[in-house]
Amino acid sequence: MIFFLAREQNNMFNLRINGIFLIACSTLLCAISLATTVDYDANAIIINGERRLIMSGAIHYPRSTPQMWPDLLKKAKDGGLDAIETYVFWDLHEPVRRQYDFSEDLDFIKFLKNVQEAGLYAVLRIGPYVCAEWNYGGFPMWLHNLPGIQLRTDNAVFKEEMKIFTTKIVTMCKEAGLFAPQGGPIILAQIENEYGDVISSYGEAGNAYINWCAQMAVSQNVGIPWIMCKQSNAPSPIINTCNGYYCDDFKPNNPKSPKMFTENWIGWFQKWGEKRPHRTAEDSAFSVARFFQNGGVLQNYYMYHGGTNFGRTAGGPYIMTAYDYDAPLDEYGNLNQPKWGHLKKLHAAIKLGEKVLTINATITEKQYGDSVYLKTYANQATGEKFCFLSNAHNSKDAQVDLQQDGKYYVPAWSVSILQDCNKEVFNTAKVEAQTNVYVKKLATELGNTFTWTWTSEPVEDTLQGVGTFNASELLEQKAVTVGASDYLWYMTTVLINDTSTWKNSSLQVNTTGHVLHAYVNGQYIGTQWGTHDKLSFIYEKPISLKQGANIISLLSGTVGHAHYGAFFDMATTGIVGGPVKLIASSNTTTLDLSKSSWSYKVGLNGEAKKFYDPKFSSNGVQWNQVNNVGTGKPMTWYKTSFKTPEGTDPVVLDLIGLTKGEAWINGKSIGRYWPTMVADNNSCSDKCDYRGNYGADKCLSGCGEPSQRFYHVPRSFLNNDTNTNSNTLILFEEMGGNPINVCVKTITIGSICATVGYGKTLEIKCPDGKTFSQIAFASYGNPQGKCGSFQVGVWESSDSASVIENACIGKQSCSVNVTSSTFKINNQGGNDGQLAVQLLCDGSDPEIGRVQKVKNHEKLSLNESGPESEL
């Protein structure tokens, strides 16, 4: 046993700790961590006295799985990050008031420990309002119904709940020794989230609330600084920070605070029906470099790994299940190249200047014409210098002559980082990192088609109008369901005496969304839904009424609850208030049913009986073989089983042929699906100009395609057994699709490309477990085109392919200096050529290392589904 005593002088944000904390000690293994002091000034975050610039990236623990965390964190560390930022998701941890869940996938303490084990710091954004495209902004929905509550304002009921949860999280972190002064990884903590965006809507109460938030946070005594993002009136000592695509002009409200960019939106999220946004590696790097050029201290990518909105966690309305975000690590955890590699090089380049950038350096700025300027940071005492030379013009490239410090070509919308102010170590527009092309490969070992069974959603009760309680009004959906289900049945009975007027009439339902299915007298009448930009809609369908009692059963479905904006928590869902009307065919007589007696039932019977869970789905349920019957019917559950695909590549379900619903693997929900939500055909382009301000509608792909056709199945959701059909897939199919084409695919590396200029070094790498197996293209000269369609230019070195073959084939990684001593230059070109390569990686080929005899420049056909859409 080892004992240490910790003596601490906790002076809020100027914390000094002497000694070491004992963290854990067992008989065999003693783990100790050094206490870490966290301090700051305007130029640096000061960790254990060391003046630091911090590169950080967001990875939200519930958007991946504990099995994925170590790999994601390793890739973040390899990518040059110092810290990981995560929110804490209140709704997951306190689904029922005072009943907490921090188990398994929700073990955020374990996530933070993993962060530390990976050698990273943590930024803990407790919120507990988080926005994050998360259901109800991360608030548990039971908050909504607490008597007297008003959310995110100076309201005693809300503040009490917020304080209890914040204190719980802080206490758990303290107990686990996770704050830096305790030897843990957490160096910063956040309270609230972007309240500045909405504060004016809350009047004076908004200001009072934000002051209370600050006091409440500070009283938690965490020994590290607290931040608030987008909060220009953040009360001292809380540091206000910037979120956006660019934050170079941001100034914290206290000149002593460090300039922090807590959300650099590295791409954007998608809603159902939207195209896929991309933010280029060049523009992402430009934004980061400009931030540090202008005095930035901490920069956090939102997101570094976006991941997946499993279950019903997606916010909204209409936020999609995939939350890829075009982040440096893609939804499945693969490197999104060249973004990941380009930013890695950028981090390394900026860190070369860390010493001089973090002192109170002498800063000079020199203009070189239109939008071009040089910023010099100099340490007068040592003579050390570091420069950023930027060109913020969105079309004009610049040639800058720095005299004895060299001449530089600075492309439009780029920043050159000059070590010692005389050597370009990085330019944000010159991308040398490799491009990875991933392919979705059919897991053929599983067989081509699955055997499906089906059962109908039991609707006998609700089609008879039988619910669990009644009200003489049309209620707001979330207030009734409290998030327990996406679905709420609204049912009423209408007595018709006069069939001559009402026999042929229509049913009109005004709903605030998001989806409506209607039945009259047990007959399915039809379905309608809103869109991400128009949630409310009027449903109107012809119906036939009979003499006497007619039963109207309406099933309203939600697709994620609002997560953003002033009073977002009050946004209505469902048929609240209606009106619901019958309109006689004559069109002159209407019957308003809005104040009739409505019967309600929360959720589906199949949900209550756990049809989605193989442990329960067989209990008394008749599953029928799918043949000609059984498909194309709304409200149907489908079931199949399949083997686990071999290997370690990420697994996806291709849900083409289905409409809308939810999918479960072995009882775990992989999220809502909606492949019939197709993006429109306008404004996608093959080319994306990185120059000029980025916006989420700038570089789009996926026109005319389902917003999401493929759904991530984390490997940990599958059984280890690859020999038998040990996995059960269950679908709730809402609008009558056909599962026959549903299949399992794996995401594997297709090929790797890179383009490198003369004098530089080609550095390429296959993912772990794979090696270079084949050259699809290699040309040193003036190659044309882009990855997947490279072509030889007017000249090339004849040994291009053999040089690459010798250096790379059979290896996981290789590097080749692009010089005239490496490549024979046939006199046509000078030393200004470029090397372009495309290689295949293959770990499954038993003859790895054998060079397959492909003719150079011959175009290889990639696996069936072809490369991922690329810009």
> Where in the sequence numbering do the catalytic residues fall?
194, 263
Q: Which is nearer to ligand GAL, 194 or 274 (CB)?
A: 194
In the complex, the smallest distance separating the C-beta of residue 4 from ligand GAL, rounded to whole angstroms, is 39
Tell me how far apart the alpha carbons of residues 708 and 389 are, in angstroms, rounded to a whole number: 41
Q: Find the residue with minimal CB distance to ligand GAL.
A: 131
Spell out a b/e string for 300-319, using b for 16 or more CB atoms within 10 Å of the CB, else e. Answer: bbbbbbbbbbbbbbbbbbbb
Distance from C-alpha of 812 to C-alpha of 853, rounded to nearest angstrom:
19
* Residue number with CB closer to ligand GAL (132 or 552): 132
Task: CB nearer to ligand GAL: give 263 or 805.
Answer: 263
Tokens of 588: 């002159």
Return the closest-CA partner of residue 40 out of 225, 223, 171. 225
Residues in the chain: 871
Return the SS3 of 105.
helix
For residues 63 and 305, the answer to whether their CB atoms sit within 8 Å is yes
Q: Which is nearer to ligand GAL, 696 or 753 (CB)?
A: 696
- Min dist CB 85 to ligand GAL, Å, is 11
Angle between helices 69-78 and 108-117 (to 10 degrees): 40
Shortest reach from residue 220's CB to ligand GAL, in Å: 21
Nearer to ligand GAL, 193 or 558 (CB): 193
Give the dihedral of Cα atoms 813, 819, 821, 825; nearest 10 deg. Answer: 120
Residue 345: what are its φ and ψ, rounded to 5°? -65, -40
User: What is the nearest approach in angstroms of ligand GAL to the Cβ of residue 194?
Assistant: 5
DSSP H stretches of helix in 154-273: 156-175, 203-218
Smallest separation (angstroms) from ligand GAL to the CB of 121: 20
We find the least distance from the C-beta atom of residue 58 to ligand GAL, in angstroms, to be 9
* Alpha helix (H) residue ranges in 180-322: 203-218, 281-293
Name the residue nearer to ligand GAL (CB basis): 133 or 842.
133
Closest CA to 258 of 250, 270, 268, 246: 250
Cβ atoms 463, 359 nearer than 8 A: no
Closer by beta carbon to ligand GAL, 263 or else 649 = 263
Min. distance of Cβ 664 from ligand GAL in angstroms?
A: 27
Distances (CA, A) of 272 to 31, 322, 713: 47, 10, 19
- Tell the smallest beta-carbon distance from residue 142 to ligand GAL (Å): 22
Considering the complex, state which of residue 267 and residue 295 has its C-beta at the smaller distance from ligand GAL: 267
Cα 427 to Cα 688: distance, rounded to the nearest angstrom: 18
Minimum distance, C-beta of residue 159 to ligand GAL, in the bound complex (Å)? 21
Which residue lies nearer to ligand GAL by CB, 319 or 389? 319
Cα-based angle 721, 722, 724 (whole degrees, multiple of 5) = 80
β partners of residue 463: none
Q: Which CB sits closer to ligand GAL, 132 or 329?
A: 132
Residue 524 vs residues 15, 474, 499, 517, 633: alpha-carbon distances, Å:
67, 21, 21, 8, 10
Q: How far is the CB of 130 from ligand GAL (least distance, A)?
A: 6
Cβ-based burial of 807 (10 A; exposed 0-12, middle 13-18, buried ≥19): middle
Contacts of 39 (CB under 8 A, 6+ apart): 13, 14, 15, 45, 46, 47
Per DSSP, 353 falls in state: T
Residue with Cβ nearer ligand GAL (316 or 333)? 316
**Strand partners of residue 219:** none
Helix (H) / strand (E) containing 654: strand 651-654
Strand partners, 599: 470, 491
Alpha-carbon gap, residue 600 to 154, rounded angstroms: 34
Residues 335, 329 contacting (CB under 8 angstroms): yes
Written as one letter, the residue type at 116 is Q
The least distance separating ligand GAL from the CB of residue 222, rounded to whole angstroms, comes to 21
Query: Token match 């490496």: residue?
Result: 822
For the sheet containing 16-25, what is the strand order?
Answer: 6-9, 16-25, 30-34
> Which spans of this chain sit near ligand GAL (rule: CB under 6 A)?
130-133, 193-194, 243, 263, 269
